[in-house]
Amino acid sequence: MSCTLQCTERDGILLLTLNRPEARNAMNFELASALAAATDELDAREDLRLGIISGADGTFCAGMDLKAFLKGSRPSIPGRGFGGLTEKPPRKILIAAVEGYALAGGFELALACDLIVAADNANFGLPEVKRGLVAGAGGLVRLPRRLPFHVAMECALTGSMLSAQRAHAYGLVNRLSEPGQALAVAQELGSVIAANGPLAIATSKQVIVESVDWPTRNMFELQRALTDPVFASADAREGAAAFAEKRKPVWTGK
């Protein structure tokens, strides 16, 4: 694995640390490629339940490496988007643990995750317009779905910062932490999720993500196609048996 991305495992959770502190963890092609490979591994391995993305040295990600951009390199992977992630997130759950700044593509990385934990002094922003660019890695399409319309519009048009506390008040951030504790709180949240049935978690995410575009007239039919196999699974029987026997379930993901 590239040294620009540190990968460690803890209790079934894959910890992904963006590791370019000299550039405030700005994304380059090498880091994007490493992140794409790591999320593929997350989905492929049955022993990994979810992933957490954080940044080294107190900053999440400052966005695209503009110096590399000026040399003709962009940190996108075809079919996968910025950071190898924004257009094709993994099937399994991803949590963003944000310290310091999540700016431009860094904010878009966080938006591509399923949950966001942030230090209470962290800041988010889409400053692309200040550089004559646009937030084309998901910021312009995801943010209006997560924030009130006019708040999202202000973020995109002014390029100004959005504090973690304000983001939490709008529901964009799931949990706030003390400075320096975002990763620890994200791991606590991840552990709660990882204790649940893997099939149920994956299917729940799939329904929530895909149902945004489902027509009302047949949304339950579309949902049943995804959820019926879960009810017929060995994990569903194990969950019921564990409840009746007052023990922790032993999931097989089948």
Beta strands in the chain (DSSP E): 5-10, 13-18, 50-55, 76-77, 81-82, 93-98, 101-103, 115-119, 123-125, 161-163, 175-177
Residue 119 included in any domain: yes
Tokens of 176: 């706030």
Tell whether 89 and 122 lie within a shared domain. yes
Residues 167 and 237 in one domain: no
154 in the same domain as 34? yes
Exactly one of 108, 188, 221, 245 is catalytic; which is it? 108
* Range(s) of the domain holding residue 205: 198-244
46 annotated active-site:
no
Q: Are residues 131 and 30 in the same domain?
A: yes
Residue 186, domain CATH: 3.90.226.10
Q: Report, in this order, helix, strand and coil percent for the chain, each rounded to 5.
A: 45, 20, 35
Same domain, 86 and 152: yes
206 shares a domain with 189: no
Q: Residues 30, 128, 178, 238: which is the catalytic one?
A: 128
**Are 116 and 216 found together in one domain?**
no
Confidence of residue 71 (pLDDT cuts 50, 70, 90): confident
pLDDT at 2: 63
Q: Region 235-245: what's the mean pLDDT?
A: 96
Q: Which amino acid is at 196?
A: N
Question: Do 77 and 130 belong together in one domain?
Answer: yes
Instruction: Identify whether 254 is part of a domain.
Output: no
- pLDDT, the chain, mean: 96
| pLDDT of 1 strictly over 70 | no
User: Is the model's pLDDT at 3 over the cut of 90?
Assistant: no
238 catalytic? Reply is: no
Same domain assignment for residues 72 and 20: yes
CA dihedral angle for residue 240, residue 243, residue 248, residue 252, rounded to 10 degrees:
0
Full-prediction pTM beyond 0.85? yes
> Tell me: the pLDDT tens digits for 166-222?
999 999 999 999 999 999 999 999 999 999 999 999 999 999 999 999 999 999 999
Interval 70-77 mean pLDDT? 85
